Amino acid sequence: MPTILIQNILEIIMGFPLIAEILKALGTKDEVTLNELYEIIGKNPVFTWELSVRKHRVRSALDYLKRKNMVERSADKTYKLV
């Protein structure tokens, strides 16, 4: 794994627990749907947002990860690590 990628991942994990949780979920399966991510985040006691807020934050975090070329859409409402 390239050093820059490792540095980016560590930077994200240290500063953004939601992004770290999303990366962890994506690392366990080849592809994860938005609904699966909403469910995973909802089970974590750190994130106590109502569903509409959770959905917005998950989609925003995924957008951030897409801009960093760390995840990509693999199908409709489905994401995977790059």
| 41 pLDDT tier (thresholds 50, 70, 90) | very high
Q: Which CATH class is domain 3-81?
A: mainly alpha
Pairwise CA distance, residues 77 & 15, whole Å: 26
- Token pair recorded at residue 69: 């070329």
pLDDT of 23 > 80? The answer is: yes
State the pTM of this model. 0.79
Q: Identity (one letter) of the amino acid at 61?
A: A
**Between the CA of residue 20 and those of 3, 9, 13, 14, 76, what are the distances in Å?**
18, 8, 5, 8, 22
| 4 pLDDT tier (thresholds 50, 70, 90) | low
Q: What is the pLDDT of residue 36?
A: 96
